[in-house]
Structure 1
Amino acid sequence: MDQEAIIQYITDTFAGVDVLRPSDGPGAGDTFIYYDPDGDLDRTRELPFATIVTKNHTGFDESSRLDRPGVFRLNIGVRRDTFRALFGDPPSGADAPSTDYDYAALDRLMPHPIYASQWWVCLLNPSPETFEAVKPLLADAYDRVATRHARTQARRDE
């Protein structure tokens, strides 16, 4: 699958999604997918529920070797229980890649090399078959942020 097909699936499947694709700055070339049903999300205070990263971030996120031609990483912020069911507890301490995974491997679901402790999973260049298996994880991530958004809205309306 290519990046555009993944983005198309997400925007066709999940309501209230906003896709941000910066053209400059440190996120240039990457894709950030937010739940923003009202179109008023403060991106300085909210995180995306999925991202597509196309390059290394020198000094802290190079283990996926995204400097290879055509390689991208799909990142998904799942629920804690979902992450634990897949991988157990993430390593504690500083965010650093575990040595248990080859983070440069294509088409393999694994904990995020840096953000596993925040319940993020990732995979590089998923095949159509692997992407089918990952769709429930995207639904889990979407549901997590949509539920949080609904709770926040309910508190505001009280």
Structure 2
Amino acid sequence: MTITDIIDYVRGLGGVLVLSPAEGSAHPEISWGDTFFYYAPDGEVPTTTQPFATIVTKNYPGDELSRLDRPGAYRVNIAAGTQALRDHTTAGTDPSVPDTVHAHPLYAAAGWLAVVDPAERTADTLRELLRTAHERARQRYERRA
């Protein structure tokens, strides 16, 4: 799966705002080149919630275990919830192994999962997790409305 494949898939779930900060934008430089997915049917970046999924293309400070400093490496992060975390991960796995569903190196306790360089083995599971995260975000949005 390419980054474009993932962005197109998530955009097709409906009500999704895709934020892709670029060089020179008003967003923090560390975010340039990454992608953030919000459930925002009004098209406005929510101020009271986090994205339900992200694609990061580099290591962030304190988050180097996925080894995104390798050429072309990226990680999809998904807030699919603690049940999905239990259903799809195994404790103690190396979070830098590509095409494997892992507990997010920093945010697993909040129900976040991660896939480095998703490909054929994780494609269906990744889509399922993204649908779950989207649905959870939609439900939160509707409760707050």
From 50, 53, 56, the counterpart of 1:50: 53
Q: Secondary structure at the match of 2:31?
A: coil
Q: 1:19 and 1:149, CA in 2 relative to 1: closer, same or farther beyond 3 A?
A: same
Q: Partner of 1:26: helix, strand, or coil?
A: helix
Deviation digits for residues 95-114 of structure 1, max 9, x if unmatched? xxx7x121111100010001
> Deviation at 1:29?
1.0
AA aligned to 2:15 is G
Q: Distance between the aligned counterparts of 1:41 and 1:57, measured in 2?
A: 22
Given the two structures, how large is their TM-score scaled by the length of structure 2? 0.89
Does residue 139 of the first structure (1) align with residue 131 of the second (2)?
yes
The amino acid of 2:56's aligned partner reads: V
1:104 aligns with 2:96: yes
- Largest Rg, 1 or 2: 1
1:47 aligned counterpart, secondary structure: coil
2:14 matched residue in structure 1: 15
Q: Which residue of 2 aligns with 1:114?
A: 106
Q: Which SS does the other structure have where 1:142 is aligned?
A: helix
CA RMSD of aligned residues (A): 1.6
| Aligned sequence identity (%) | 39
Unpaired segments of 5 or more residues in structure 1?
Answer: 89-97, 154-158
Q: What SS does the aligned partner of 2:77 have?
A: strand
